[in-house]
Structure 1
Amino acid sequence: MTRLQLHRLLLGLVVLFVVGAAVLYVLSIALASGGGGVARHFDQLAMLSFLGAVLFGIVDFFVRPVMHRTADGSRDVHTPLNG
């Protein structure tokens, strides 16, 4: 797996976790009338999901491919993970 592929995988996980956090937060607001315990549970899950997105984002920051400038001005991103 190249760094670019790993970067895309981690970025996809970050987006998935952020969307999950947003959905869980909206559910916690919608379920607030049903009882504070249920809403609090969904709110805690939303916070954990957001924390997961932040952690995957930090890992992605260090995995992000080093893009070397080529002669034609484009970027070369095909750097292998261990190379």
Structure 2
Amino acid sequence: MSRLALHRLFIVVCALFVIAAVVLYVLSIALASHGGDTARHFDEYAIFAFMGAVLFGIIDFFVRPVMRATPDGSRDVENPLNG
């Protein structure tokens, strides 16, 4: 698997963790009126999902490919410098 493919995979995983964190946080707010530990558990799961997103974001920072600059100022995604 190339670095570009790993970069894209980590971006997708990070986005899924962020979406899960938002959904779980909204559920914890919606379930807060019922009381008990249910809302607290969803809030804890949201925090863990957010921490997972941050972790995969940090990993992606070190995996992402360095792109070549093209003459028009954009980046060449298909031919990264470190392949």
Q: Aligned pairs, how many?
A: 82
**TM-score where L is the length of structure 2:** 0.86
Equivalent residues of 2:68, 2:80 under 8 A apart: no
Which of 1 and 2 has higher RCO (CA within 8 Å, sep 6+)? 1
Q: Pairwise mapping of residues 1-83 of structure 1 onto structure 2 (< 5 A)? A: 1-71=1-71, 73-77=73-77, 78-79=79-80
**TM-score where L is the length of structure 1:** 0.86
Once the 2 structures are TM-superposed, how far is the Cα of residue 36 of structure 1 from its aligned partner? 3.1
**Range that drifts further, 51-60 or 71-80:** 71-80
Aligned CA RMSD, in angstroms, stands at 1.8
5+ long unaligned stretches in structure 2? none
- Extract structure 1 runs of 4+ deviating beyond 6 A: none
Once the 2 structures are TM-superposed, how far is the Cα of residue 2 of structure 1 from its aligned partner? 1.1
5+ long unaligned stretches in structure 1? none
Question: Aligned residues: percent identity?
Answer: 66
